[in-house]
Amino acid sequence: MRILSGIQPSGVPHLGNYFGAMRQHIELQDRGEAIYFLADYHSMTSIRDAGERRRFTRELALDYLAIGLDPERAILYRQSDLPEVCELSWLLSTVTSMGLLERAHSYKDKIAQGLPVHHGLFAYPVLMAADILIYNADLVPVGQDQKQHLEMTRDIAGSFNHTYGTAVFKLPDPHILEDVAVVPGVDGRKMSKSYDNTIRMFASDAELKKVVMGIVTDSTAVDAPKDVSTALFQLWALFATPTEREDLFGRAKAGGLGYGDVKKDLLKRLLAYFAPHRERRAQWAARPDDIEDVLAAGVRRARALAQPVLAAARDAAGLGPER
């Protein structure tokens, strides 16, 4: 089974990214041939600063290695190191209807907000389809928000196959990470970098302490029963076993448990959980050349898988000399 996912290098990852997507990527590397790439081409639709893009891309590689991506098993590479994907994107764009792209939520949202849009944003789903189809990936693990993009990928693949009367592309199965609850941010809304309410697991101890202690709670007295559906308890539960959760939630509902104690315990658990990741991150960070080696080896392996598919697509479309 071939598993593929792309991650945009768009900022420092937070607990929402980790529990919502990154952790599952690591788990899946044991279940098949996993290919993960740092989607720097895609990040061009939002980030306009070259230095920032490089920094975010390098940091994201570090983050994945830190959380346990094993470069001996999974392939990790930088999207722009495989420009073949842009060629495939062109081939696919000629079989993608305007109507399909006009229905894309991400594009429609930008228009609705009155934000300036450019062709890159409009064509984003086509590049994403190329990312996936160039490997004939079986499984694409992504969050709910990417579901529509995967449906579009299936449409685009079908359209190419139909147009040229071939079966060059396999229609990928989305693996929507639905069982993953939305991680709340420190203010109770969905954790998201755009709300500035995140807990970034690789921040310093002091910063983490400040953020955790600042999780918004109400003024319920210590003795009073607490609502365990609130952010603090839900965040705490990410680091607890089901039995621990039942126990603490029971005590919270009964009253007598103060928010401060829960925050302290959450901080302790969070630091303990990510201690090995943070150590591994520091080790990799001290060896930037090794990271480049990982990415170089990654793209070599990726290219070997991508090239035959691209060649077949070119051939089906009548590009180049007859084979």
Binding residue (CB under 6 A) for ligand ADP from 119, 178, 194, 206: 194
319: Cβ–Cβ under 8 A, 6 or more apart, which residues?
91
Q: What kind and span of H or E run contains 117?
A: none
Closest CB to ligand TRP among residues 152, 211: 152
Q: Please, which residue, 14 or 316, has the CB nearer to ligand ADP? A: 14
DSSP element (H, E) containing 76: strand 75-78
39 part of the interface to ligand TRP, by CB under 6 A: yes
Residue 132 interface partner, choices ligand ADP, ligand TRP, none, CB cut-off 5-8 Å depending on type: ligand TRP
For ligand ADP, the closer of residues 7 and 248 by Cβ is: 7
The contact mask relative to ligand ADP for 140-179 (x = CB under 6 A, - = no) is ---x-xx---------------------------------
CB contact at 8 A, 98 and 273: no
Select the binding partner of residue 59 from ligand TRP, ligand ADP, none (C-beta < 5 to 8 A, by kind).
Answer: none
Nearest residue to ligand TRP, using CB?
Answer: 6
Which of ligand TRP, ligand ADP, none interacts with 191 (beta carbon under 5 to 8 A by kind)?
Answer: ligand ADP
When CB distances are held under 5 to 8 angstroms depending on the partner's kind, the choice from ligand ADP, ligand TRP, none that residue 16 binds is: ligand ADP
Rounded to whole angstroms, the Cα distance separating 52 from 261 reads 39
For residue 110 the two structure tokens come to 């930008």
Residue 148: CB minimum distance to ligand ADP, A = 12
**Where do the H-state alpha helices sit in 33-146?**
40-43, 50-66, 84-93, 98-102, 105-112, 119-133
- Which stretch, 79-87, 190-198, 253-261, 294-302, contacts ligand ADP (CB under 6 A)? 190-198
Tell me: does residue 42 bind ligand TRP (CB under 6 A). yes
Instruction: Identify what 128 binds: ligand ADP, ligand TRP, none; CB under 5 to 8 Å per kind.
Output: ligand TRP
226 is an active site residue: no
Residues with Cβ < 8 Å from 16, sequence gap 6 or more?
A: 182, 183, 185, 190, 191, 192, 198
Alpha helices per DSSP H over the chain: 15-17, 23-28, 40-43, 50-66, 84-93, 98-102, 105-112, 119-133, 147-164, 205-213, 231-237, 242-254, 259-285, 288-316
Q: Is 200 in the site for ligand ADP (CB under 6 A)?
A: no
Nearer to ligand TRP, 91 or 228 (CB): 91
Contact 161, 312 (CB under 8 A): no
Phi/psi at 64 (nearest 5 deg)? -65, -40
Beta carbon of residue 278, minimum distance to ligand TRP (angstroms, whole number): 24
- Asked if 128 contacts 151 with a C-beta cutoff of 8 angstroms, the reply is no
One of 147, 170, 190, 209 is an active-site residue; which one? 190
Angle between helices 119-133 and 84-93 (to 10 degrees): 110
67 is a contact residue toward ligand ADP (CB under 6 A): no
In the complex, which residues of this chain contact ligand TRP (CB under 6 A)? 4-6, 8, 39, 42, 128, 131-132, 140, 142, 146, 149
Write out the catalytic residue numbers: 110, 190, 193
